[in-house]
């Protein structure tokens, strides 16, 4: 099989098992489409409240396990062993402040932390999450403050290695267009990245961690917008 310049044989590295929350959002759905075509990934488990029509057209349907849940509330009470044997957990959830302070805190803090706790309990070595440029627990604006608090809390959970992605302005959202971002996309000098590029960067970094890093890093790493774009350049020139 061939994928993005790589040639794979039946005798290859261990295929990675991954789990995702936020798969129906702009970045998550791009992640799903790329995982579908990438032979380095084996089982892909999706926890979701809604199943997208496009998932019925995935090429490798047999490697996807779609678990429909009425809500992600109460993940802390889920079976702690259900993620055993998984290699990476992706958290791609992104709420909106206009949903209200409590709802935004739940989606962008609680869900992030509880999914990390599930990963830790099952000894999943790698946690990959989308945060935001400007995230800081001491930020004045609530959006950036909650994002920063989530980053800090995930680090404290203690998964072996946490990858934190801080994209700038997200452009080309296929299913989640936001008026403010459409307007700002035309402003020069703003850090920008597409949902597709974010997904690619997360996948390339996951492959780097599992296949190339020796010894495996511990702790956490933060990828700012420019670092994410550099990951894509490294892939294209490798």
What's the pLDDT score for residue 38? 95
Tokens (6 digits) for 227 = 């670092």
Tell me the pLDDT of the chain averaged across its residues.
Answer: 87
Tokens 């296949």 label which residue?
A: 211
Q: What is the structure's pLDDT at 13? A: 64
* pTM given for the model: 0.88
pLDDT given at position 9: 42
Strand-strand pairing, 169-171 and 192-194? parallel
Task: Decide if pLDDT at 167 tops 80.
Answer: yes
Query: Could you identify the residue written with the tokens 């990390």?
Result: 116
pLDDT recorded at residue 188: 47
pLDDT digits (tens, 9 = 90+) for 70-98: 999 999 999 989 999 999 999 999 888 77
How far is residue 111's CA from residue 118's CA, in Å, rounded to a whole number? 11
| pLDDT at residue 7 tops 60 | no
The one-character DSSP state at 45 is: E
pLDDT value at residue 213 = 79
Q: What is the mean pLDDT of residues 182-201?
A: 73
Q: What percent of the chain has pLDDT over 90?
A: 75
pLDDT of residue 186: 40
């Amino acid at each position: 099989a061939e994928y993005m310049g790589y040639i794979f044989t039946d005798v290859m590295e261990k295929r990675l098992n991954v789990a995702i929350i936020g798969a129906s959002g702009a970045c998550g759905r791009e992640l799903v489409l790329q995982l579908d075509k990438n032979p380095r990934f084996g089982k892909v488990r999706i926890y979701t409240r809604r199943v997208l029509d496009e998932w019925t057209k995935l090429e490798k349907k047999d490697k996807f396990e779609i678990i429909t849940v009425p809500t992600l509330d109460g993940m802390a009470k889920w079976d702690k062993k259900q993620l055993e044997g998984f290699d990476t957990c992706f958290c791609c959830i992104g709420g909106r402040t206009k949903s209200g302070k409590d709802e935004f805190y739940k989606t962008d803090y609680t869900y992030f932390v509880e999914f990390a706790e599930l990963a830790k309990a099952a000894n999943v070595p790698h946690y990959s999450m989308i945060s935001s440029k400007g995230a800081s627990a001491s930020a004045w604006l609530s959006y950036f403050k909650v994002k920063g608090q989530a980053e800090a809390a995930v680090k404290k959970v203690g998964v072996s290695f946490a990858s934190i992605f801080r994209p700038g302005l997200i452009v080309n959202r296929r299913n989640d267009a936001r008026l403010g971002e459409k307007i700002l996309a035309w402003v020069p000098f703003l850090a920008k990245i597409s949902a597709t590029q974010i997904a690619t960067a997360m996948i390339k970094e996951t492959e780097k961690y599992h296949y190339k890093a020796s010894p495996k890093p511990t702790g956490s790493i933060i990828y700012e917008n420019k670092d994410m774009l550099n990951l894509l350049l490294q892939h294209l020139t490798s």
